[in-house]
Structure 1
Amino acid sequence: MSYADTLNGLAPALTALRLLAVDFPEMPAPTVRVTPIYPTLLELALHDDLGAFEPWRIALGIAREDIDFRAQDDGRTWVLRATTDYAGARVKLIAFGDVLRRPLAMVGGSDAA
């Protein structure tokens, strides 16, 4: 780990962010995180929108098999994560969303045919 002590030290992550903004201006806007603790890491987080993960995954060239799926908050929130290299930075893509549930009538029960 190398700690950046100047803004120039964040250049890898900031350059990747700039190029993403130019190359994919119509993509859903993520929460962006850049930190001097990991100056080559650009984190893109999509909150309450699992559907926005797929266009970002495709744009970044991340293979489906490289997606990590987890649940958190006692299984009420799904989390999709993947990382890739882009323009000299490591990009971490994360999406959070509510668990998808089928309506009770579709699951079965006493009213099911």
Structure 2
Amino acid sequence: MRTPITVSALGAPLTALRNLADEYGHLPAPSVSVSTLYPDTLVLTFYDDLAGFESWREALGVPSRNVSYGVQGGGRTRVLEAEAGYADGVVKLVGFATIPTVEEACSRVGVGS
């Protein structure tokens, strides 16, 4: 059994969140997560907003080569992940976006109409 963690042990990600809100308040708002499992990590998640992910990646100075790419959900969901050191902790960016089917992609560009 683990020893319970205190709120003060989450100081690094909570400080990072406060500082990021002050410094980058103009950027798109992500979903925010802090966990006792990773007490030094602030997770900023973007759902169907890869432009928001990219804005934060650039603001935090994460090189594009350090972004990992994956696919989940039977090939229907694109996943981007990146991390940056910030305020004595880690900020993890996660972006999810639906990958359109061929039919959806064609209908968006008017192919076949």
Alignment partner of 2:69: what SS?
strand
Identical amino acids, percent of aligned pairs:
39
Deviations 1:54-84 (A, max 9, x none): 1000011100100001111111110110011
Runs of 5+ consecutive residues of structure 1 not aligned to the other structure: none
What does residue 43 of structure 2 align with? 43
Moved over 6 A (4+): none
What does residue 52 of structure 1 align with? 52
Alignment partner of 2:20: what SS?
helix
What does residue 10 of structure 1 align with? 10
- TM-score where L is the length of structure 2: 0.84
CA distance 1:4–1:26, change in 2 (3 Å): farther
Give the aligned CA root-mean-square deviation in angstroms: 2.2
What does residue 64 of structure 1 align with? 64
- Partner Cα separation in structure 1 for residue 92 and residue 108 of structure 2: 38
Runs of 5+ consecutive residues of structure 2 not aligned to the other structure: none
1:94 aligns with 2:94: yes
- Partner Cα separation in structure 1 for residue 13 and residue 85 of structure 2: 10
Count of aligned positions: 107
